[in-house]
Amino acid sequence: MFEGRNGMSKEKIEDIGENHIATSAKTPLRADAFELSDDEKIAKIQENVKAILLTLGMDLNDDSISGTPRRVAKAYVKEIFAGLNPKNMPKASTFDNNYKYGEMLVEKNIIVYSTCEHHLLPIVGRAHVAYISNGKVIGLSKMNRIVNHFSKRPQVQERLTMQVVQAMQKALGTKDVACVIDAKHLCVNSRGIKDIESSTVTAEYGGKFKDKEVRREFLDFIRMDTDFD
């Protein structure tokens, strides 16, 4: 009988993937994940993508698809999964809160482009991130960049939400951080149940955001109409 690394049966592993269940709050990386250079990874992935396309019966002599293996490999390493490499973590510069702003700051509608780790299909949605200063503030664009960094890897939405909050907490030196993500999973929308209308909402609340009134204020900000057209 087939068993995975943790002693789980093939059926159990398949069930976890079909139901989009995470097994770890951390991205499951091997110890040797970064021993190969980006160029070496691209070369290896290129050959593997080529093998997949050939197995599917594609004619790689056709000009339209002949360059696909390298294009996919470059996109995986340099773009779609670039967030796996800690070297690409954005520098989260913080500044003293000299103007003594003591209320909640919310950066809403941050675009999320990620990839479901179970079927390697896109996750597309929006993240809403908030914090209450504990003496430090962070540049607004850095909040977007943190979301983008953790999105660019094979992901589970629950983990992504937690990782964004943890990174913000570390940068700001406060537990008072929250994140809500609302996203569509193409592994649900385009295969399996093929439900094109459903989306998934996840939330992580830290510190003061565990208080019902503070959390309600945050959720009210998210619903606020900010269409300036």
Given the residues 20, 46, 107, 117, the one annotated as active site: 117
Residue 61 structure tokens: 């002599």
CA distance 102 to 136: 10
163 is catalytic: no
Residue with tokens 């809160």: 97
179 is catalytic: no
If you compute the radius of gyration of the chain from its CA atoms, what whole number of angstroms results?
20
Residue 18 structure tokens: 């079909």
20 is catalytic: no
Given the residues 20, 46, 128, 157, the one annotated as active site: 157
149 is catalytic: no
Given the residues 20, 46, 107, 118, the one annotated as active site: 118
Residues 6+ apart with CB under 8 A from 166: none
CA distance 179 to 164: 7
Residue with tokens 């700051």: 105
128 is catalytic: no
Given the residues 20, 46, 107, 116, the one annotated as active site: 116
Q: Is the dihedral of CA 46, 51, 56, 59 positive or negative?
A: positive
Output the CA–CA distances (angstroms, integers) from residue 59 to 43, 45, 51, 62, 146, in the order listed.
20, 18, 11, 6, 40
Given the residues 46, 107, 185, 204, the one annotated as active site: 185
Q: For the chain, percent helix, then strand, then coil, each to nearest 5?
A: 45, 20, 35
Which positions are annotated as active-site residues? 116-119, 157, 185, 187
